[in-house]
């Protein structure tokens, strides 16, 4: 566990900074985007120039976050990485900026400490929980837009308050951002109740490949790059499909393997207590949380499956 600075120190640095670039991780999810959006709007409210950069395209459903995207017309003076545990998560377009990050705000226990300063709280369900406190401490009003950004992070990283990372504090912060005007009816509809055609198609294909192992205690699902293309899906359609295998009755370890453009497989591990997902991923050179972890496997599908199942066997 790396050393963390205090909330007060992080806020002091942000308030002193000018021309701030806010970085999101690749394959952006609601927490990296929502937390970055909240920080962006708070910094802009303080009269600062700020913009967001993400290596991968941002799904249109996140348009309401109103992210000002970095356009290279100015030179950042301070770089903040949001919800990014290690430099491998930046992606091509932002990795050079990521390497010189001045500050990282994150909730991953595995944060590698790559930034100049790191504010990390592994007990937070989402980076948005930490960002809520950062913005409160910045003494800038939590507008309805900032509240909606924070609600997006909180709700998406907890599966709408359903996952095991959810705490009493998560609900307290949710209550406060709803009071500040987070548009929870519209956001819940947008984030949890609707599905693109291509998302449905890729789920359909992925679930057709479900295999059960170890007496049904492990379910493994995969999608190849050809299938992703065939479904007309892009990476944003793939967000969250990793929760499908573990949700099956009797399953304690859910594995999702999706092929990347490079041909290698991104492996996502989701477990129920007491199975340690981080140990499974660690055996394959990856990392993550107790219940959710991941790694990348260079090799063909059958080899990748065999390697993953061998690690699962050690934990079951």
User: Where do contacts with a copy of itself occur on this chain (CB under 8 A)?
Assistant: 160-164, 166-169, 171-172, 174-176, 178-179, 184-185, 188-189, 192-197, 200, 203-204, 207-208, 210, 212, 216, 244, 246-250, 272-273
Phi, psi of 55 (to 5 degrees): -65, -35
2 versus 175: smaller Cβ distance to a copy of itself: 175
Would you say 38 or 201 has its CB closer to a copy of itself?
A: 201
Residue with smaller CB distance to a copy of itself, 18 or 63: 63
Distance of CA 223 to the CA centre of its chain: 20
- We find the least distance from the C-beta atom of residue 8 to a copy of itself, in angstroms, to be 25
Cβ atoms 296, 261 nearer than 8 A: no
Closer residue to a copy of itself, CB minimum distance, 43 or 205:
205
Q: Which helix (H) or strand (E) holds 295?
A: strand 292-297
Q: Is the CB of 197 or the CB of 229 nearer to a copy of itself?
A: 197
Q: Which is nearer to a copy of itself, 261 or 273 (CB)?
A: 273
Total Cβ atoms within 10 A of residue 201: 18
* Closest CB 282 distance from a copy of itself, rounded Å: 23
Question: 20-23 and 78-82 as β-strands: parallel, antiparallel, unpaired?
Answer: parallel
CA dihedral 27, 29, 31, 35 (to 10 degrees): 70
Listed residue (123, 95, 85) closest to 2, CA to CA = 85
In the complex, minimum distance from the CB of residue 173 to a copy of itself, in angstroms, rounded to a whole number: 9
Q: What is the DSSP letter of 92?
A: T
Q: Least distance from C-beta 283 to a copy of itself, angstroms?
A: 25
What is the spatial distance between Cα 293 and Cα 242, in angstroms, rounded to a whole number?
10
Residue 129: CB minimum distance to a copy of itself, A: 12
CB of 252 to a copy of itself, least distance (A): 11
- The four Cα atoms 243, 244, 246, 250 give a dihedral, to 10 degrees, of 160
Sheet holding 265-271, edge to edge: 211-213, 218-223, 253-259, 265-271, 292-297, 287-288
């Amino acid at each position: 566990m790396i050393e963390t600075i205090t909330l007060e120190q992080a806020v002091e640095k942000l308030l002193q900074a000018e021309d701030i670039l806010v970085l999101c991780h690749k394959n952006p999810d609601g927490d990296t985007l929502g937390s970055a959006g909240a920080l962006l709007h708070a910094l802009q409210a303080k009269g600062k120039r700020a913009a967001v950069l993400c290596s991968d395209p941002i799904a249109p459903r996140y348009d309401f976050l109103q992210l000002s995207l970095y356009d290279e017309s100015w030179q950042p003076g301070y770089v903040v990485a949001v919800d990014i545990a290690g430099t491998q998560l930046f992606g091509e377009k932002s990795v050079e900026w990521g390497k010189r990050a001045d500050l990282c705000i994150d909730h991953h226990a595995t944060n590698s400490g790559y930034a100049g300063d790191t504010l990390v709280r592994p007990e937070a369900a989402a980076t948005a929980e930490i960002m809520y406190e950062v913005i409160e401490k910045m003494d800038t009003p939590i507008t309805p837009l900032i509240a909606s950004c924070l609600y997006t992070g909180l709700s998406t990283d907890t599966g709408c308050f359903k996952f095991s990372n959810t705490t009493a504090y998560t609900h307290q912060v949710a209550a406060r951002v709803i009071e500040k005007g987070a548009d929870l009816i519209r956001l819940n509809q947008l984030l949890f109740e609707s599905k693109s055609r291509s998302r449905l198609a890729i789920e359909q294909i992925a679930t057709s490949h479900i295999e059960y192992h170890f007496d049904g205690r492990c379910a493994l699902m995969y999608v190849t790059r050809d299938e992703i293309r065939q479904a007309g899906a892009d990476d944003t359609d793939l967000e969250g499909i990793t929760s499908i295998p573990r949700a099956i009755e009797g399953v304690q370890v859910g594995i999702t393997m999706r092929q990347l453009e490079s041909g290698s497989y991104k492996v996502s591990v989701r477990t129920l207590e007491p199975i340690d997902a981080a140990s499974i991923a660690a055996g394959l050179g990856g990392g993550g949380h107790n219940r959710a972890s991941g790694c990348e496997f260079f090799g063909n599908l059958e080899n990748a499956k065999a390697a993953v199942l061998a690690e699962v066997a050690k934990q079951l």
